[in-house]
């Protein structure tokens, strides 16, 4: 209940998560049928980067701040266009003040038929999220522990959807909780596309986490990771990863374009790295850099 994303909004981890989320939304929109985005840990939806909290850490400067100023290769710019266009739409003048969290970004990318279900447990953050979407009939905002939504809110009535699980990782056992949550949700909604976020930092049980995911009865599971610095001598976040279940068939090739570019533009030291690999499915060969 103490975690507040305003301190981290727009950082390098948000860039990876939101760039991939935008690609997933655009892929589902290749079909006319409606879909729903279920955002289990939604936050406040829209972040003021000029606020005292955001200025205190300034993490956005090494994330979206760098990316907006980067000279992007055409193929990279094309893949990032949905995401970056949404950010620029919120900041029509020079510079950047407002940054969209995942529920706001999703809503900005929607067609008239698409829908959002956003869960937030923190009372103050829920109130702000509810005000942001007040009167919006495309969005349903619920004050709820996001982990519970993986049972109660699946499958969506649209029968198509993206489930974004982005927990704060405040407590021990969150990697295990991600595995258990995915197993529970997949049983209810096996056709959904799932996007699970997790932190990379020194001592994190990533190998064990991946092995537990591989043990699930899920046929296709893609992993993307981006580290911006070495974890030597650092106890905090050095990178982040995404697990995408039932990924679009195009996503692996898109990651091979996006990840090297994000590494180059967001690197904080010479040890920055990336990788994309199948945990289950097409091929387990990784492409690292």
- Closest among 268, 260, 272, 276 to 73, alpha carbons compared: 260
Q: Are 179 and 213 in contact (CB under 8 A)?
A: yes
Q: Is 37 in a helix, a strand, or coil?
A: strand
Active-site pick, 39, 114, 125, 166: 166
- CB neighbour list of residue 247: distance below 8 Å, 6 or more residues apart: 24, 193, 220, 222
User: Binding site, residues?
Assistant: 18, 41, 102, 120, 145-146, 166
Q: What angle do CA 198, 280, 246 make, to 5 degrees?
A: 75
- Picking from 225, 237, 145, 160, the residue whose alpha carbon sits closest to that of residue 194 is 160
Runs of H (alpha helix) within 140-231: 146-152, 174-188, 206-214
Indicate the annotated binding residues for S-adenosyl-L-methionine: 18, 41, 102, 120, 145-146, 166
Query: 27 vs 21, 34, 88, 227, 282, CA distance in Å?
Result: 10, 12, 21, 26, 19
166 has catalytic annotation:
yes
Tell me what percent of the chain is helix, strand and coil, each rounded to the nearest 5.
40, 20, 40
| Secondary structure class of 54 (helix, strand, coil) | helix
Catalytic residue annotation: 166
């Amino acid at each position: 209940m103490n975690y507040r994303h305003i301190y981290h909004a727009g950082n390098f981890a948000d860039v990876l998560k939101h760039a991939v989320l935008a690609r997933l939304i655009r892929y589902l929109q290749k079909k006319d049928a409606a879909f729903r985005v279920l955002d289990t840990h939604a936050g406040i939806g829209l972040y003021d980067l000029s606020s005292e909290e955001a200025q205190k850490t300034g993490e956005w400067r090494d994330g979206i701040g760098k990316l907006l100023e980067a000279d992007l290769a055409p193929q990279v710019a094309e893949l990032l266009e949905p995401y970056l266009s949404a950010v620029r739409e919120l900041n029509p003048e020079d510079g950047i003040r407002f940054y969209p969290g995942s529920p706001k970004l999703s809503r900005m990318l929607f067609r008239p038929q698409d829908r959002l279900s956003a869960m937030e447990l923190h009372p103050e953050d829920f109130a702000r999220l509810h005000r942001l979407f007040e009167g919006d009939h495309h969005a349903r905002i619920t004050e709820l522990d996001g982990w519970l939504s993986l049972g109660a809110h699946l499958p969506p009535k649209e029968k198509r959807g993206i489930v974004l699980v982005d927990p704060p990782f405040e407590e021990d056992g969150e990697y295990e909780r991600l595995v258990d949550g995915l197993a529970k949700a997949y049983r209810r909604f096996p056709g959904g596309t799932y996007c699970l976020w997790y932190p990379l930092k020194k001592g994190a049980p990533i190998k064990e986490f991946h092995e537990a995911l591989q043990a699930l009865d899920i046929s296709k599971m893609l992993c993307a990771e981006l580290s911006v610095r070495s974890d030597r001598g650092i106890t905090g976040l050095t990178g982040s990863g995404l697990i995408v279940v039932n990924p679009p068939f195009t996503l692996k090739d898109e990651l091979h374009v996006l990840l090297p570019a994000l590494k180059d533009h967001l690197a904080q030291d010479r040890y920055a790295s990336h990788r994309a690999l199948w945990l289950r499915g097409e091929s387990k060969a990784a492409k690292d850099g």
